[in-house]
Amino acid sequence: MAKKVIIKKPIPISIKEAIQKKKDWMKEIQSGNIFLPNSKPKRIA
Amino acid sequence: MLNSEIYPIFIVDGLSFFDEIYTFKTEKGIDFYVRFVNASHYFSEICASCQMVHEVSFESTVRNGGLDIKISNTIRKIIYLFIVKHESPVMFTCDSTDNLNHCRNKLFKNWYDQWEQKDLFQLEERTIVFDDYILNLGLIAYKWDPNIKEYLKQIDAGSLG
């Protein structure tokens, strides 16, 4: 069971932005428009 | 099927030093991306050790591609490889805006419970309740990580952000 932590203030902007960036990244992938560097991915396992 | 079967894993080079993306393709041709980004924004700047914590997230080109145990095996393996490579803790957060945060949290918890390397790591979970948002959060770190108490102290004290 996760411990509950009550923070009596609104969610900080930095965290809100991070959540939004993650959502945007996920949308990029679903739409097939993900930005990746030009280098070929290297197999590691 | 063996619990240890995974898909070939690739790392994408050329990103910033602290951020990494791993990718793999399933038998159905679905591309998965697993991303690690620096999670220092979740901690106070005065916590130097916290600056090494990374957040993991993943997404695929097709959602609901069917049940495939090799997908979870591969993502677990990637998280393991990242922690070993960087010796840095990894956290996951579950967005609550669609009310599916508990499901995602449970998914990560199940993965951790099935982890072959579970003896090496500890999982700490928190439900952070802000005035306007609920954030489910998990932190995976080596059991021997000397800073684990500091990470949790920061979170429990409401130092987030």
What is the chain A residue with the closest CA to B36? A22
Q: Which domain holds residue B126?
A: 10-156
Q: Distance between the two ends of chain A, CA-based, in angstroms?
A: 33
Q: What is the CATH number of the domain that holds B108?
A: 3.40.630
Q: Report residues of chain A scoring pLDDT below 50.
A: none
Is B161 contained in some domain? no
Is B84 contained in some domain? yes
Q: Do A26 and B57 touch (CB under 8 A)?
A: yes
Is B5 contained in some domain? no
Q: Is the pLDDT of residue B2 over 60?
A: no
Q: Is the pLDDT of residue B1 over 50?
A: no
What's the pLDDT at B140?
94
Is B1 contained in some domain? no
What's the pLDDT at B15?
64
Is B4 contained in some domain? no
State how many domains chain B has: 1
CA B77 to chain centroid? 11
Q: How sure is the predictor about B90, in pLDDT bands with cuts at 50, 70 and 90?
A: very high
* DSSP letter, residue B146: T
Which residues in chain A touch residue B10, judged by CB atoms under 8 angstroms apart? 41-44
